[in-house]
Amino acid sequence: MPTCRDVIAVVGAGSVGSVTAWWLARCGARVVWLAPRTGGGEQPGSLAALGVLMGHCSRRLRGRSWRLRRTALALWRQWLPLLGPVPQQWGLTVLCHQPDEVERLQALVRQRLGEGCPLAWRTREDLLSRWPALAATDLQGGLWSPQDGQLDPAPLLTALAEATGHLGVQRWPAQVTDLKPEGRNWRLQLQASDPDCPATLLASAVVLCTGLGTGRLLAGLDPLILDPSVRLNGPMTPVLGQAAALHCPMLPPQGLPGPVVWRGVHLIPRPQHQQLWIGATVEPGHQSQDHCFEQMLRLDGTAPPWLRQAQVLCRWQGIRARPVGRPAPILATLAPGVLLTSGHYRNGILLAPATAAWTARQLGLLPPDAP
């Protein structure tokens, strides 16, 4: 059992914790991954996600959010081939229905092209001639982003769990209930139903990828151990999202041009004929509302007939963690050796690799291919 000071504890088994545990191990770190079992009430929010990667088509022109998105897309392209088969689709269409948005989106295309990121404007005629399913009287055109896309979250998490296992990462099915400094290390108190799981872990560094669980964990910590310059403004706020799988017998045979963002709603073609995922609602709190689900299905009253007649095969929901009073995500050093990488809100699948790469840099780890 590793007890020595060079162990890095990665806490959390959503997309952020899974990618972080895998990447730190690839960089040569000794990782113990504290990953509570799924099932029962506490599913990682990541399993509810649609896995849409909105990087280049984001409206952010500069700043941290844009840098993280761009880095994340590039890393997914490098890292996915190392993980085995994860269902993925490349190329994303963002439809535009507002005449006064066209110019702004065309300017975005020019800006991105100037930065070497492929993005194109597709006219209404171009879109409708190829994909009649997109018909809407107010359709103006759309962004075509060939390097954005979509990953299936459940197989992604499974592939990451297998790959971390192959790298020798120990995965302990434990909740962290407390964290205290011990010399230059950190003592984690653990709680697990598995009697073989140790009750504590001594680690030289701790990475908290705990999503919504972050507030509860930090509330129990002695405030004196935290760097006072990192102001967290309280716990994360929950924002619920609902999604569904649909069967669309009236979908025109050309289908969709891959994943589509239609009035902010994601439509993701599935491998099964005429099936789509649709999502997600944005509902503050933990409680889902039926009228939000219905509004999403109807695209706010503008859904084409093939979508209005779709049959809901199954539906699900999950909770996103949104930081209070600061932009998502939080990437911060709380104390020497304690990193917080949580609060990814609506982009935790997209941003997981950029988060893991940030963590490795903070811990002084070099990528495996560094000269």
Ligand X SMILES: Cc1cc2nc3c(=O)[nH]c(=O)nc-3n(C[C@H](O)[C@H](O)[C@H](O)COP(=O)(O)OP(=O)(O)OC[C@H]3O[C@@H](n4cnc5c(N)ncnc54)[C@H](O)[C@@H]3O)c2cc1C
Amino acid at 101: E
Output the smallest distance, CB 176 to ligand X, in A.
4
**Span near ligand X by CB under 6 A; candidates 2-10, 36-44, 119-127, 360-368:** 36-44
The whole-angstrom separation of Cα 336 and Cα 343 is 20
Looking at beta carbons only, is 21 or 248 nearer to ligand X? 21
Reduced 3-state DSSP string for 80-108? HHHCCCCCEEEEEEEEECCHHHHHHHHHH
The whole-angstrom separation of Cα 284 and Cα 237 is 8
Output the smallest distance, CB 26 to ligand X, in A.
18
The whole-angstrom separation of Cα 172 and Cα 366 is 25
The single residue among 29, 160, 243, 332 that binds ligand X, judged by CB under 6 A, is: 243
**Span near ligand X by CB under 6 A; candidates 120-128, 244-252, 306-314, 338-346:** 338-346
The single residue among 13, 83, 94, 203 that binds ligand X, judged by CB under 6 A, is: 13
- The torsion region of residue 51 among left (phi > 0), alpha (psi -120 to 50) and beta comes to left
The whole-angstrom separation of Cα 297 and Cα 321 is 24
- Residue 280 interacts with ligand X (CB under 6 A)? yes
Structure tokens at 81: 């081939």
Output the smallest distance, CB 363 to ligand X, in A.
18
Contact flags string 50-69 toward ligand X, x per CB under 6 A: xxx-----------------
The whole-angstrom separation of Cα 45 and Cα 40 is 13
Structure tokens at 139: 């359709």
The single residue among 241, 258, 304, 323 that binds ligand X, judged by CB under 6 A, is: 241
Tokens 């309280």 belong to which residue? 234
As to burial, measured by CB atoms within 10 angstroms (0-12 exposed, 13-18 middle, 19+ buried), residue 252 is middle
**Span near ligand X by CB under 6 A; candidates 22-30, 58-66, 106-114, 348-356:** 348-356
Contact flags string 137-176 toward ligand X, x per CB under 6 A: --------------------------------------xx
Tokens 């849409």 belong to which residue? 52
**Span near ligand X by CB under 6 A; candidates 8-16, 122-130, 137-145, 358-366:** 8-16
- Residue 251 interacts with ligand X (CB under 6 A)? no
> Which residues in 173-212 contact ligand X (CB under 6 A)?
175-176, 209-212
Looking at beta carbons only, is 49 or 365 nearer to ligand X? 49
The whole-angstrom separation of Cα 87 and Cα 270 is 10
- Residue 122 interacts with ligand X (CB under 6 A)? no
If you count them, how many residues does the chain have?
A: 371
Output the smallest distance, CB 265 to ligand X, in A.
11
The single residue among 24, 32, 34, 133 that binds ligand X, judged by CB under 6 A, is: 34
Element (H, E) at 162: helix 153-166
**Span near ligand X by CB under 6 A; candidates 7-15, 58-66, 94-102, 124-132:** 7-15
Q: DSSP string of 225-269?
A: GS-TT----SSPEEEEEEEEEEE-TTS-TT--SSSEEETTEEEEE
Q: Binding residues for ligand X, per CB under 6 A?
A: 11-17, 34, 36, 42, 44-46, 48-52, 175-176, 209-213, 217, 241, 243, 279-280, 318, 320, 342, 344-350
